[in-house]
Amino acid sequence: MRICIINGSPNRNGNTAEVLKPFRQRLAELGADLDEIFLKDYDVAPCLGCYACQDVQGEYGCVQKDDAEEIWRRAGQADLLVLATPIYSWYCTAHMKALLDRHYASNKYYGTAEGQLIPKLSVALLTTHGYKADYANEPFETGIKRLCRHCHWDYLGLYSVRDIDGLTDMQTPEAIEGAERFAEELVEKMNVSRETL
């Protein structure tokens, strides 16, 4: 099982990276083949809204020659895409939002081209946030659920940890066990969906 984890935090050693440690380790123990992307290391510009990609058949076709195409190609090669991000202003970080908008070139819905470059994908969320979980996560989770529906992808769920006191909140037994359990749940869901294919 290939799993692509994209960390949209600007902090390489921040809270989100800390929660990813036990999550990644458990996935590896369960035999997952991991591809990890620390988004800030890549060049992903915001979408220009030019719609040129919508007239390019069978290819990504974006006029901006940065790293978005490579990242979406790697995500599309995975069975499961994990979007990990701190909650910023009730959504993901700007780094991740730019990448999400650039999924557009993969869906040929609005021009002369047709089809989807990533017809099948499962998506899960891992977030960290300052406010209480439901209040902090609801807008972003709703947006991603709708994006998945729009793309005909499966949404598998969310795990999050609240930041009150920084890294130590991410290192409690509850936070670590929660991340490990979430990894187990995702692998289980992926196995069930494979068996029912």
Ligand X SMILES: Cc1cc2nc3c(=O)[nH]c(=O)nc-3n(C[C@H](O)[C@H](O)[C@H](O)COP(=O)(O)O)c2cc1C
- Residues lying near ligand X in the complex (CB under 6 A) are found at 9, 11, 14-16, 86-90, 128-131, 136, 163
Q: What is the DSSP letter of 97?
A: H
Task: Tell me whether strands 80-86 and 115-116 are parallel, antiparallel or unpaired.
Answer: unpaired
Closest approach, Cβ 91 to ligand X, in A, equals 8
Nearer to ligand X, 175 or 190 (CB): 175
Q: Helix, strand, coil shares of the chain as percentages rounded to 5?
A: 45, 20, 30
Say if residues 77 and 2 touch (Cβ distance below 8 Å): yes
Closest approach, Cβ 127 to ligand X, in A, equals 8
Chain residue whose CB lies nearest ligand X = 14
Nearer to ligand X, 9 or 54 (CB): 9
What DSSP element (H or E) covers 37? strand 33-38
Closest approach, Cβ 129 to ligand X, in A, equals 3
Closest approach, Cβ 148 to ligand X, in A, equals 22
Nearer to ligand X, 176 or 190 (CB): 176
CA distance 183 to 6: 15
